[in-house]
Structure 1
């Protein structure tokens, strides 16, 4: 039997919470605490492809670029790019670390990244492929087939059995789209994100649930901001939660991963440069048994093996005077 978890403003399976003076938080820039290549390697996170533009890498820099180039706000490029960056920024709140790759050779993929849900923050982060459909026209089930096709054309590092596809649109999913999602053999999500970044609907299929996403839920929260307190008006928003608790945002995840990586290096009793940290990883992966090297973050490394790794690192560094 097909399963489709449907969560939106009209669903009856919601948890409702009222909070006074609640403010939605969005990261102002995706490079606020960007993970270093070493940290990505340590946690086995794929490196994103090159961006399609060197002039902008987030919503703020794109708006500056668009103003400088006098790009019409109603143009297809402006509307589409603005929406992609808005989605990227919104989903950081739910621990999705996304990069824009949309361009001539994007194979239909607009954003790629990793999803660091609780219990999956480190080496088990999900891979994510995102298509943004910033269209006014009604969307049909054909867009689900298009998303399924991206799995075989995904960048290196995203062709895994732990990859999910996400369709994002400012419109609600039609019955045809919902049925296509439910039938799909791929793990798929649908999210309705308005052009201002407000999440209004989220649904996913049984295949996605099988990836260990049972604790993922959606809540509707009624909030009163400081500005609305006098008028008594109440705002409604949809939020993703994990096992009944808020999901740490991507800024928090990046800080946690960075701190863990620093502690991991310090545990070797060494003061290393960034290139030397990479050499340490090389030595560990080369010397340690596979069952340990495959899970360096979680494994307890015996003293004898640690000594062997340090010896291999020392030999390697002695061959590279530039590091000294």
Structure 2
């Protein structure tokens, strides 16, 4: 009888221990998934969109996952002219359900909270010139955006860039299903890409797909040609002053 009780107690303890491990592993796997998606997004944006960003993360990130610069030709310049920089504050969402408008509202709040001194850029950066760098809100999602999310971002006075990057598929059946159901998206609002926006209507963004395997990537087009991706070397002065010029400090 004693032996039976001991076996039952040991079995119960093992089940409790196993359950505690499973419970503890769930938040960790979510963190790992989010981190992997952020790293994938960083590479995709660097290789195709001329963005030099870094991960922020942590408890004091202020709602910002990605921070850095976007290097684009001056609208009045040529392809060989030095590129200007645009500040980028971004969030990454690696969720299975569709991305809701609340994330657009959150990112609007982040920009209003951290950068109140440049709000005039969001109204009309052409008629209200300034030496300050323009600022763009970037929302990268692994799941598609809802219609309400797109409408919210398109109507925002803040320059918004939405990028849907579908999850990577491994098997042939998954790739075939992805080709039909899960196409990526790259879109921005008029405050960013419009004639009176930050880009002055001179740039076009597209989601490009390969015909053989359906793999996709974002691409920039300027003066009827695909714009090659370019970022300054990480050791250059343009990059080393990134942390010196911008600190994540909210306005009281």
- Normalising by structure 1, what TM-score? 0.48
Match of 1:84 in 2: 38
Match of 1:117 in 2: 72
- Normalising by structure 2, what TM-score? 0.60
CA contact (8 A) 1:216 1:240 kept: no
Match of 2:188 in 1: 204
- Does the residue aligned with 2:58 lie in a helix, a strand or coil? coil
- Does the residue aligned with 2:201 lie in a helix, a strand or coil? coil
In structure 1, distance between residues paired with 2:168 and 2:202: 28
In structure 2, distance between residues paired with 1:149 and 1:156: 10
Match of 2:218 in 1: 239
Cα gap change, 1:213 to 1:72, in 2 (>3 Å): farther
CA contact (8 A) 2:72 2:84 kept: no
Deviations 1:79-136 (Å, cap 9, x if unpaired)? Answer: 1111111111110021000011111011110000100012288573110011001111
Matches within 5 A, 1:252-291: 253-254=231-232
Q: Cα RMSD (Å) of the superposition? A: 3.5
In structure 2, distance between residues paired with 1:222 and 1:137: 23
- Does 1 or 2 have the higher relative contact order (CA < 8 Å, sep 6+)? 1
In structure 2, distance between residues paired with 1:88 and 1:117: 17
In structure 2, distance between residues paired with 1:249 and 1:104: 32
In structure 2, distance between residues paired with 1:199 and 1:112: 26
Instruction: Return 5+ residue gaps in structure 2 as ranges.
Output: 1-24, 76-80, 122-133, 170-181, 239-252
Instruction: Return 5+ residue gaps in structure 1 as ranges.
Output: 1-70, 225-232, 262-324
Deviations 1:163-206 (Å, cap 9, x if unpaired)? Answer: 00011101121111011012211111110013349982111111
